[in-house]
Structure 1
Amino acid sequence: MTLFRGPVQAAPAEPCNTFAVPTVIAPIEGPERVVWEPDGPLVPWQVAGADDLWVEIDHTRDLLRRFEAEGPQPDRIIDRIENAGHLVVVSGPRQSGKTTLLHKAVHSLALRLDDRMRTWSNVEQLVPAQERWTARSPQELSHVRVVALAGPRNAPAHVAWAAGRPLDVDQVHDRILRKVRETLGKPEVEDGHPPGSEDLYVAYERLSRQLIEDRTVLLILLPDFGWGGEGLTGRFYRSCRDNARCGIVFFVESRNDTGCADDLRTAFGDELGTENVTHLALGPMAEGDWRDFIDARHRAAIPGAAIRVAAEVTDGAPALLTGASVGKLRKVLYAATQHAHENRRDEVDAATLRAVGRAFEVPGPDQFRRDGASRQQTEEPRP
């Protein structure tokens, strides 16, 4: 059981945009620190206080609750007899909040896993309370390690490509195992093995035994690989599920909002929906969610964030906000807040919103539908 000492204190105030994002940076020298960036996902397992910025808009609230009820459960993940991990796939349209939901799910599971591991180990540890808006200490989740292959932004990377061509599934797992070895500091973790499912099985089985010995659970975060119609995505999902042994959970992001379910059906057939695979599919925001987003930011007590959104904006229904995805919404509001600050205004009013609106394309309502009509508009180019 984890015990927290003392109240959580806010970091010293500094000028900040109400719609900025707290992000951990690691300087060449000195400890990690948090800066407020114009863009990026919320990463609560890495930044203390980031949970305060989480907004339970309609679809994310339901998906998170389903994840916690039906997704990977701590007792099953650490069950050495069952010896089965889990695969979690998060999909959705562009800028729908996939990466933030993925990190929220990771943090939720990490807290439950760490608490369960401490109970299993019969250990009570006094963990100093973290200041808000600081990088989390490894002590806080000492039984859980998170390996983000493409960094916290989980941006599409060349993880699964070489010389402009997609790697095969085994080669991608080689890279995953190499990164895990570097993170855990375990040179005995096998990687660089010859292609073949048996060797992959052996490599992950060995990794699982090491995790059990160290009483550690590994959460592996992976971006969309941009494989398109190569048929590799379904095979990769299958390989993750099959190689997720005791103590290992894969989290994979998919930008293929219209085809992810098909990839999963191809990979698992009738097995889809079993206890070892969870699919969280994001959709468009519900009516009024944009107001909830603004209200949550106003309540979060972000250091030095003095500029608010005026009532004439929230009481109205400007198309620039009501028709936007959550990613576009935050970018518009960030730009409007910067504009207000530069013009020495104390709020974002309708005039300010109109001034910055020219720089943003107002999306049509069908641009975020979960069908193929907008596929050309939402699909990201390959690496």
Structure 2
Amino acid sequence: MAARITARRPSPERRRTARMTSSDWANPYGVRKPYGSNGANHGDGGEKGATLSADHPLVPWKQPDHVHQWVDVDHSREELDRFVRNWPDLGELLDANVGHGRVVIVSGPPGMGKTTLIHRCLYEVQQRVAATGPSAGDPLAVFVPTAGLENDGRRISVDPDGSFAPTRLINARIRSEITKKLLLHEFSESRVRAITAEEDPYQAYGEMSDLLVQRNALLFAVIPHIRWNDAHLRAAFLRTCLSHAHTRIVLFVEVSHGAAETAREVAAALSGSAAVTHLALRELNSEDIWRFSRSARAANGAPNGLVEPDRSSLMAAHDEWKPSDVRELRKVFHSAADALRRAPHPWPIDADALRPHWERRRAGRDALLRHPILPRSGG
């Protein structure tokens, strides 16, 4: 068993300056959900004293202050920068002569922050459309998270009896979610209903593209992790997405995979296509723990009641803890901060503070990973 890591306790002076009360505390590692009693319906800053969730995708395009809670871990900054560099200008996205839309694949192990990265990319897209839109007639940007902001892929990947759905049904459900949002934006109901009823997916998305051109609109649809059981099914679905990405349609597709399957293999079926951008998240390292400890802070103006994290202790903790993903990282830090809130004196976030919480989760770590759904015959 690894030796316990001890850290300096804060001086009495630091304890006094860091003292907190239950009335002014907000967990610095919490995330405010974009909907509900503590969400965006109370304004960008959220309701004072709102309870923050231990884990939730950061959604800056729905709640702008979440940009400031975004933490640069698991190479997400590198991938975001690559997305921004490779993203076409607005004119290319709107040009009907281009003949195709875009597919953005975000791959990596489960829980590694893919959904949050997608929402961060959407925020960048939203800012660009707002900045350059006047010169293009202010196009309408329609954002559709097809399975909700919590990335519940089961919502579209199982059939009514709970079995793994065939690709035909999955595609139909994704298209149904898109057409619901088009109706909310007052697109022609008869045209949208015709798209929903069209049996040929390629033809349906072609008609959708024509409708977007007529309304000077852009569609950004997020397709969550669908729990594909093997690379063949996954590659077939990605090829389908590429064929459906007509002019003015941008699909963000999240692909989870295990450590034995590289990001290159996940996107191999689409390699060489100019319409594809591939963003790959990788494993955490000790520097990621340090970045997270310092950067993850509630963005609702609440005081940070914790003593400054201990860098050397956290860097060393990586070898003992070996957090499997960003979700585990956030939940352990959130749990430790809650415990420190109830301590007689504020202590720093260090290995000693985190250890009981990561050890408690270690036994159930497998539950953090999304297990594949067994496919039904022919699915």
Match in the other structure for 2:8: none
For 1:372, the equivalent position in structure 2 comes to none
- Map 1:184-333 onto structure 2 (within 5 A): 184-185=182-183, 186=187, 187=189, 188-189=191-192, 190-193=194-197, 195=199, 199-229=200-230, 231-257=232-258, 258=261, 261-265=264-268, 267-268=269-270, 272-297=271-296, 302-311=300-309, 313-316=310-313, 317-319=315-317, 323-324=322-323, 325-333=325-333
Correspondence 1:47 to 2:67: no
Q: Quote how far apart the aligned CAs of 1:146 are.
A: 0.9
Q: Pick from 178, 181, 199: which aligns with 2:179?
A: 181
Match of 2:14? none
Matched, 1:21 2:31: yes
Aligned twin of 1:146: 143
Cα distance change, pair 67–164 in 1 and its aligned pair in 2 (3 A): same
Cα distance in 2, alignment partners of residues 169 and 58 from structure 1: 31
1:23 alignment partner AA: K
For residue 127 of structure 2, give the secondary structure of its aligned residue in structure 1: helix
Displacement of 1:101: 1.0
Please state if 1:343 is matched with 2:340: no
Q: Which residue of 2 aligns with 1:114?
A: 130
Q: Deviations over 1:16-65 (max 9, x none)?
A: 100001211247xx947655212111111111211111222361121111
The AA in structure 2 aligned to 1:240 is: C
State how 1:124-163 maps to structure 2 within 5 Å. 143-162=140-159, 163=161
Q: What SS does structure 1 have at the residue aligned with 2:251? A: strand
Measured in 2, the distance between the counterparts of 1:117 and 1:64 equals: 22
3-state SS of 1:290 partner = helix
Q: How has the CA–CA distance of structure 1 residues 62 and 179 changed in structure 2, closer, same or farther, with 3 Å as cutoff?
A: same
Aligned residues: 331
Report how far residue 349 of structure 1 moved. 4.6
User: Does 302-311 or 41-50 show the bigger shift?
Assistant: 302-311
Q: Structure 1 216/32 Cα, relative in aligned 2: closer, same or farther at 3 Å?
A: farther
Q: Is the 8 A contact 1:147 1:180 kept in 2?
A: yes
Structure 2 residue runs without a partner (length 5+): 1-22, 375-379
Q: Matched residues in 2 for 1:263 and 1:354: separation? A: 35
Distance verdict in 2 for CA 1:169–1:193, change over 3 Å: farther
- CA distance in 2 between counterparts of 1:377 and 1:103 reads 21
Deviation of the 1:219 alpha carbon: 0.7
* Native 8 Å contact 2:34 2:62 kept in 1: yes
Counterpart position of 2:168: 170
Tell me which moved more, 220-229 or 169-178: 169-178
Give the residue type in structure 1 aligned to 2:247: C
Question: Match for residue 100 of structure 1?
Answer: 116
- What is the alpha-carbon root mean square deviation over aligned residues? 3.1
Deviations 1:243-264 (A, max 9, x none): 1111111111111241653343
1:200-245 C-alpha deviation (Å, 9 max, x unpaired): 2221122112222222211101111112127332121111111111
Contact 1:92–1:283 at 8 Å: present in 2 too? yes
> In structure 2, what is the Cα distance between the partners aligned to 1:220 and 1:157?
17
Instruction: Provide structure 1 residue ranges, at least 5 long, that are not aligned to the other structure.
Output: 1-12, 124-141, 368-374
- Which TM-score applies when normalising by structure 2? 0.77
Separation (CA, whole Å) in 1 of partners of 2:256 and 2:170: 18
Q: Aligned with 2:124: secondary structure?
A: helix
Identity of aligned residues (%): 25
Q: Is the 8 A contact 1:58 1:285 kept in 2?
A: yes
Alpha-carbon displacement from aligned partner over 1:111-135 (angstroms, at most 9, x marks no partner): 21333333211x6xxxxxxxxxxxx
Seen in structure 2, the aligned counterparts of structure 1 residues 277 and 254 have a Cα distance that, compared at 3 Å, is same
**Deviation readout 1:302-357 (Å, 9 max, x if unpaired):** 4324322544x323234268622322221111001100112354344544334434
Higher strand share: 1
Q: In 2, are the aligned partners of 1:21 and 1:38 still within 8 Å (CA)?
A: yes
> How has the CA–CA distance of structure 1 residues 286 and 118 changed in structure 2, closer, same or farther, with 3 Å as cutoff?
farther
State TM-score, norm by structure 1. Answer: 0.76
Distance 1:184 1:75 in 2: 22
| Paired residues of 1:25 and 1:32 also in contact (CA < 8 A) | no
Q: 1:334 to 1:177 in 2, by over 3 A?
A: same
Whether contact under 8 Å (2:92, 2:98) holds in the other structure is yes
